[in-house]
Amino acid sequence: MAANPFSLEGKTALVTGGNVGLGQAIAIALAQAGANIASTSRRPADETGAQVRSLGRKFLSIEADLSSTQPVTAIVEQTINELGDLDILVNNAGIIRRADSVDFTEADWDAVIDTNLKSVFFLAQAAGRHMIAKGQGKIINIASMLSFQGGIRVPSYTASKSGLAGLTRLLANEWAAKGVNVNAIAPGYMATDNTTQLRDDVKRNAEILSRIPAGRWGDASDIGGAAVFLASHASDYVHGAILPVDGGWLAR
């Protein structure tokens, strides 16, 4: 093993949804560890790019809408063509829709499943083919507390993140012997755009904070260390794990 098993020097990472929130924090953490970064998002990732380049790393911004699988192959090909390789994939891009289950629409179901689960699988497939061919790679899926729990008023989100936990294990079973590590990070309640409604609801905010042993909402930067670990040689014998970064939520 390398002198620094957490070093990502010479590696290339593709982070979906890398323009804001958790994706941006993960991209910057991987760059700090030495990786060059490709980021997909619906809008230009100028801020992320500036921070990554300030660390002396290469940065590629790919504008893509992962509500369909249409751009998947091109994303992987562009990353390899412009940055030279693809060693790490972080499937971070995701959306959420909230409504009582009795009122939940088919459109909101399909939108979330397509982005959070279908596109994730086919992006992992495209990256996996490249990684298997060279005998090594790291795939990190961004799961959720709702990969373990039911939640309320987010049926398609819960279904997608529960499915993603299963998919992480399945791909690990198939690809571990081929040199590809597939794992997931399950963020706890993080202060991101996805949780704005919860944090603005005084009652729900208080209920959530009272359940978190750490006593605070997570910050996007709290995810970075876990991502570096799962992207590096330090996790070479870790397969099919779902690592909670939750302030102790699941331990309560």
Active-site residue list: 157
For 210-216, which contacts have Cβ atoms below 8 Å and span 24 or more sequence positions? 211/249, 211/252, 212/188, 212/246, 212/247, 212/248, 212/249, 212/252, 213/247, 213/248, 213/249, 213/251, 213/252, 214/247, 214/248, 215/247, 216/247
CB 58 within 8 A of CB 73: no
CB 89 within 8 A of CB 136: no
Q: What are phi and psi of 60, to 5 degrees?
A: -125, 120
